[in-house]
Amino acid sequence: MTEPITLSAAVIANLAFQEFLKSSAGEIAKKFTTDAIEQMGKLRQTIWNRLRGKHDAAEDALTQAESGNEQAIETVATLLGVEMLDKEFAAQVQAMAQTINAGKILDQSNMTLNISDNAKGWQTKVEGGTAYIGEIHISESQNK
């Protein structure tokens, strides 16, 4: 049996506040199932309950994070990382985050690229992160 993937505090904080990050309710509904969106609220409440009153910066960071402030979400992630030193709490939020992650709607759209006349073309499909698009150059010495 494979080990479950361990998600970092930053990933968990981003999942908890996903619906406030640069997206409307319609956009989040395109990326996550209804159950996953519901779990985001529960995860966020669990984080609120754990951090409230424990850290000076927590209350303000949590409030700002719910406004979509990415810097505040980073602060929440840092505080969450400290709290996740408690193995029991870490297991709890990990399980909730795994449920949310499992509720991601996969993009199964097709991509078609027609190239003619010795033209070059690139296609990419990126979900989060950075896409690096460019040409690969292989010199003759590398092929030997």
Instruction: Quote the pLDDT of residue 109.
Output: 59
Number of H helices, E strands in the chain: 7, 0
Residue 29 DSSP code: H
Give me the residues paired with residue 32 across strands.
104
Instruction: Quote the pLDDT of residue 1.
Output: 45
Instruction: Quote the pLDDT of residue 127.
Output: 56
Instruction: Quote the pLDDT of residue 89.
Output: 94
Instruction: Quote the pLDDT of residue 131.
Output: 60
The per-residue pLDDT for range 82-132, each reduced to its tens digit, is 999 999 999 999 999 988 888 776 555 566 667 777 777 666 665 555 565
Identify which has the larger pLDDT, 139 or 94.
94
Q: What pTM does this model have?
A: 0.64
The per-residue pLDDT for range 11-62, each reduced to its tens digit, is 888 888 887 766 555 666 667 888 888 889 899 999 999 998 888 888 899 9
Question: Residue 133 in 3-state DSSP?
Answer: coil
Instruction: Quote the pLDDT of residue 2.
Output: 45
Instruction: Quote the pLDDT of residue 14.
Output: 86
- Burial category of 62 from C-beta neighbours within 10 Å (exposed 0-12, middle 13-18, buried 19 and up): buried
| Residue 105, C-beta contacts closer than 8 angstroms, at least 6 positions apart | 30, 31, 32, 33
Quick check: 63 pLDDT over 60? yes
